[in-house]
Structure 1
Amino acid sequence: MLSSTERIPELTQLIAQQNYFVIHAPRQVGKTTAMLTLAQELTASGAYTAVMLSLEVGAVFSHDPGAAERAILDEWKQSIQFRLPENLYPPEWPDTNAGSMIGTLFSIWAKKSSRPLAIFLDEIDALSDETLISVLRQLRSGYPNRPQGFPHSLGLIGMRDVRDYKVASGGSQRLNTSSPFNIKVESLTLPNFSLADVKKLYEQHTAETGQIFTSEAIARAFYLTDGQPWLVNAIARQATEFLAKDVTIPITVELINQAKEILIQRQDTHLDSLAERLREDRVKAIIEPMLAGQDLPNVPNDDIRYLLDLGLCKMDNSRGLEIANPIYQEVIPRVLSYTTNASIGRIEPRWLSDKGELIPMELLAAFLEFWQQHGEPLFKSTPYPEIAPHLVLMAFLHRVVNGGGTLEREYAIGSGRMDICLRYGDLTLGMELKVWRDRKPDPLAEGLKQLDKYLSGLNLDTGWLVIFDRREGLLPLSDRTTTENATSPAGRSIIVIRG
């Protein structure tokens, strides 16, 4: 665990100054855990009665504030029993009119509390419509009476900032303003872990067990997760509890890489929930061109903000919008090619030698045979038609690496390509995927130049350039799939595959 006040250092002062604030961050970055811990620390200090309470149970009553409040208060009764000592409980639970129950509870509690009241309301953006507006207005109405007649300090916690709370359930309308919660003084976000945070977290494990993480392993875990808290913990858990149960075995880069592969293949709840979002139209409108390396179309600002709030993407000052971390970057294509992979029948692994080594030319021959026979029919099995050839190729490569290799991908908005690195035993194969579209020139020259840079990073002298011809009026795929040899500007030997 990392201290919540270290992750959000402004909190202590905000609370001391009787402020109301918002904390918003993507799911699974530790908001709930951090605020639960902070509330416990504040209460234990003797300075406050502090508790974190959830509003989520009111979400099903978006048009019935009274029913929502009753469900919320019932849930709070249960939670408070486990989060506060009995002498700090609310003196009574209000039985009043709909639209005032939460405000009345806070008023009674603050008035009779022996300590200043600090309340953290989690899952605020689970509410919508009349119920959301009712809760926000009750908080605003009671605010001037603090601290004697309303909480000394109060925080709203959720995925999105207050201006982005949904007014229409399941719709896209937003408050577009902090009103009716214009009493907030700050909107804070809970950041991902820094490299120093990951090191500190893993060193706690070392202090307790004696099992060390090499500095290279810590750096690798940080790179793969970009400090996303759930992933940072999950990758370490796989490494320490499953791959290296003996605490005398140090956690190395190799173990971190193995842990990463396990997480990606298993798609635990966190990764699976992100994967489900990929079929939403507003997510697809951004992820599809990103995978293809195309420029982003004219999508609404709120759709971009939605992907940022989900934690699926991040905004980099120099590179613009990109996938949040390398693990998500691997999960997304795998999820999208899952149905295609399941649609492929048995493929004999003729690309392996008797010793189990991968033979690149045999792999090429097997792919060409597969592509000519099955490529076009499989396009229909992909959920993203604009990148159907990419997904079919990746589904084939997944069959290859399932025998004991790994597949890594690089793609970004506006890059005009997707790069793939296939590793199998001691062999590394680099390839680049390009698309030839109508009214565009043959991408061969540009592809060779881009592939040079990619292969240089892999320290390779050879590679594949795959050009998907998506122009109209072409012959069937089986009749136009060809290969040729080419030399890159830097003198590398390249096999060009067109189809």
Structure 2
Amino acid sequence: MKEFNVTGVCIPEKHYMVNIDSKLEQLIELVNKGNYFTINKPRQYGKTTAMYLLAKELRKKDYLVIKMSFEGISSKVFSDETLFINSFLREIKRNLKLRQKEKLLKFIEANDDLDTINDLNYFITDFIMEADKKVVMMIDEVDKSSNNQLFLDFLGVLRNKYLLAKEGEDYAFHSVILAGVHDIKNLKLKFRTDEERKYNSPWNIAVDFKIDMHFNIREISTMLKEYKNDKSAQMNIKEIAEEIYYYTSGHPFLVSKLAKIIDEELEQLKWTKGTIRNAVKFLLTEQNTNFSTLIKNIENNEDLYQLIYKIIMEGEKITYNLDNPIIEQGQLYGILKNDNGLIKIHNRIYEQRIYNYLSSKLETSVDMSTYNYRDSFITKEGYLDFEKILNKFQLFFKEQYSKKDKEFLERNGRLIFLAFIKPIINGKGFDFKEVQISEEKRLDVVITYLDRKYVVELKIWRGEKYHQKGLAQLTDYLNKQNVDQGYLISFNFNKNKNYQQKEIQREGKNIFAIWV
């Protein structure tokens, strides 16, 4: 019985998988051309699966593929030349045994007395000549060893052989494929100190890796089609694929994870847009290594933290420029992406997880319990009394934050509301936020509680002209969400502000507005 897989390599015979034939064709083309390259993508991005499937296809084309991973090799191996060489040879032997290459095995056993990198250099030449076919070297998880000189020396050997082979002066691997989070061409910046070597990467022979490893809507559909046929599930494949892509932006782990949750946790065979939203809600409450890594990478880098805060809480327009090391690091970790020349959080699920993380930090630092006790905001029918929530938030803000400095409030006002609302909806509700990049820099929050939607717009007061503009935008957003009642919170940081509430009628929509 097949299942969705989110850990390790995906096997077509065992797992429901996205069809990545188009990506494999591009990878094979790189190999056919004899290119050296690195598949550098964030963790859980399908690198290992791509390497596995690529190796299978290359073997069908009569390449000799030597495939290994540095993940299972002791770090001690990378501290000594002889240990490294012996381990490297063992991995080659393992590959040859699995493929029953007895002739090459005997050759290695007769020539395995190697002590130095220079010995390994000559051995590779002899091995490739003996193989009498194109040899492709594939190494996964190269990051494990990439911060030491021995690894760089090894890359230097491969580079030198590649260049000499081009001149007909040596034999080299036909293609070398490395996989890891980092682009090996840039790893030197992490630990080299002398300027000359800092900019002379031993891997500058590698071509840029430009293959898009995201899953597009068409590719996601292939996985859903297989599952639908196998399980007799009910779904509009195109609609569901679009909805999954809407939340994940095609992130391989998140795509498979949502499907796995629906199949195994929600146990539903009728997939609708509501099913996807429920799976997103479930996922956002779950702890997993992907989310742990996401938050750790933000926590451990103050500059990246501040950049992300500006983007998602303040709606700042920041130009995408990979020459900026903070932006480069954010993309390296899979947190940021280029969205028409501006930086954006990679996907909506990450965005929501980061919102929750930021609001939780604030929630645990401020006692709100006397203001946001959940039961006091529930109607007899079990729904939210949202006007009462906003009135109480206004009181809380007035009593607890009125004396805070303007800069703090401008930066944190919207986050304070998110922290305030969280305990009220927790368990039965789900809040989804979208930053609207415009002059208003507004944050729209759509809260689903039971079967009702509550649309709230949060923005900074900038005068009546912008207020009317904001009302028009909120009205338009209410139409998109197909609801007639909306809510508006205007954060007014003028000294002589008035804490007021107002019922506003606009184009058939009811808007309850408060000023704090």
Q: TM-score, normalised by structure 2?
A: 0.79
Percent of aligned pairs sharing the same letter = 24
| Counterpart-to-counterpart distance in 2, 1:488 and 1:132 | 68
Shift of 1:352: 0.6
Q: Is the 8 A contact 2:128 2:173 kept in 1?
A: yes
Contact 1:350 1:366 in 2 (8 A): no
Q: Which residue of 2 aligns with 1:85?
A: 99
AA at the equivalent of 1:422? I
Alignment: residue pair count: 479
Deviation at 1:20, TM superposition (A): 1.9
- The unaligned stretches of length 5 or more in structure 1 are none
**CA separation of 1:411 and 1:20: change in aligned 2, threshold 3 A:** same
With 86-95 and 213-222 compared, the bigger mean Cα shift is at 86-95
| Matching of residue 117 in structure 1 with residue 142 in structure 2 | no
Task: Report the Cα distance in structure 2 between the residues aligned to 1:71 and 1:375, rounded to whole angstroms.
Answer: 60
Aligned: 1:53 with 2:68: yes
Judged with a 3 Å threshold, the aligned counterparts in structure 2 of structure 1 residues 298 and 259 are, in CA distance, closer, same or farther, namely closer
Q: Could you say which residue in structure 2 is the equivalent of 1:201?
A: 223
Are residue 250 (structure 1) and residue 276 (structure 2) matched? Answer: no
Q: Which amino acid aligns with 1:452?
A: T
User: How far apart in 2 are the matches of 1:182 and 1:189?
Assistant: 18
Contact 1:94–1:104 (CA<8 Å) still a contact in 2? no
- 1:363 aligns with 389
CA contact (8 A) 2:410 2:493 kept: no
Structure 2: stretches of 5+ with no match in the other structure: 1-16
C-alpha distance in 2 between matches for 1:77 and 1:278: 39
How big is each residue's C-alpha offset from its partner over 1:218-267, in whole Å with a ceiling of 9 and x where there is no partner? 3212222122111111110111122126xxx3323222221111111103
Question: Which shifted more, 198-207 or 367-376?
Answer: 367-376
Q: 1:34 to 1:210 in 2, by over 3 A?
A: same
The answer (yes or no) to whether the contact 2:461–2:467 under 8 Å persists in 1 is no
Query: In the superposition, relative to structure 1, how do residues 214 and 281 fare at CA in structure 2: closer, same or farther (>3 Å)?
Result: same
Deviation at 1:277, TM superposition (A): 1.8
CA, structure 1 residues 121+30, in 2 after alignment: closer, same or farther (shift >3 Å)?
A: same
Structure 1 position 138 matched with structure 2 position 138: no
Counterpart contact for 2:335–2:345, Cα < 8 Å: yes
Q: Equivalences for 1:108-257 in 2 at 5 Å?
A: 108-113=126-131, 115-126=133-144, 127-128=146-147, 130-143=149-162, 144-145=164-165, 149-169=171-191, 179-215=201-237, 216-244=239-267, 249-257=269-277
Tell me how far apart the structure 2 counterparts of residues 281 and 46 of structure 1 sit (CA, whole Å).
49
TM-fit CA distance, 1:17:
3.2
1-structure distance, mates of 2:438, 2:198: 30
CA distance in 1, matches of 2:438, 2:324: 18
2:280–2:349 Cα contact (<8 Å) kept: yes
Per the alignment, residue 27 of structure 2 pairs with: 11
Q: What are the Cα deviations for residues 263-286 of structure 1, in whole angstroms up to 9, with x where unaligned?
A: 111032112211222221232232
Return closer, same or farther for 1:348/1:65 CA change in 2, 3 Å cut-off: closer
Structure 2: distance between partners of 1:174 and 1:55 = 28
In structure 1, distance between residues paired with 2:89 and 2:220 = 34
The change in CA–CA distance for 1:94 and 1:447 in structure 2 (over 3 A counts) is farther
Over the residues paired in the alignment, what is the CA RMSD in angstroms?
3.8
Q: Whole-Å Cα distance in 1 between the matches of residues 243 and 196 of structure 2?
A: 39
Secondary structure of 2:453's match?
strand
Q: Aligned partner of 2:329: which letter? A: Y
Which deviates further from its counterpart, 97-106 or 263-272? 97-106
CA deviation string 1:281-331 (max 9, x = no partner):
2322321111211233898523222222322122123x7322222211211
Residues 40 and 51 in structure 1, CA contact (< 8 A), matched pair in contact too: no
Q: Is 1:287 matched with 2:287?
A: no
SS at structure 2 position matched to 1:418: strand
What does residue 28 of structure 1 align with?
Answer: 44
Q: Describe the shift of the 1:442–1:49 C-alpha distance in structure 2 as closer, same or farther (beyond 3 A).
A: same
- Among 477, 488, 496, the alignment partner of 1:465 is 488
Residue equivalent to 2:452: 427
The one-letter code matched in structure 2 to 1:111 is M
Check conservation: 2:63, 2:133, Cα contact below 8 A. Answer: yes
TM norm structure 1: 0.82
2:296 to 267, 276, 284: 276
Q: Which moved more, 1:290-299 or 1:148-157?
A: 290-299
Q: Is the 8 A contact 2:227 2:233 kept in 1?
A: yes
**For each residue in 1:435-482, what CA deviation from the matched residue of structure 2 results, as whole angstroms up to 9, or x when unmatched?**
359xx99953443343233223223444222233457xx59xxxx772
Using the alignment, how far apart are the partners of 1:101 and 1:443 within structure 2?
73
Question: Structure 1: how far apart are the matches of 2:23 and 2:34?
Answer: 20
Amino acid at match of 1:87: K
Alpha-carbon contact 1:125-1:166 (below 8 Å) kept: no
Q: Is the 8 A contact 2:185 2:202 kept in 1?
A: no
How has the CA–CA distance of structure 1 residues 400 and 410 changed in structure 2, closer, same or farther, with 3 Å as cutoff?
A: same
2:185–2:204 CA contact under 8 A, matched in 1: no
Which sits farther off after the overlay, 187-196 or 337-346? 337-346
Deviation per residue, 1:407-460 (Å, 9 max, x gap): 1110155661211111223432222222359xx999534433432332232234
CA contact 1:118–1:152 (8 Å) conserved in 2: yes
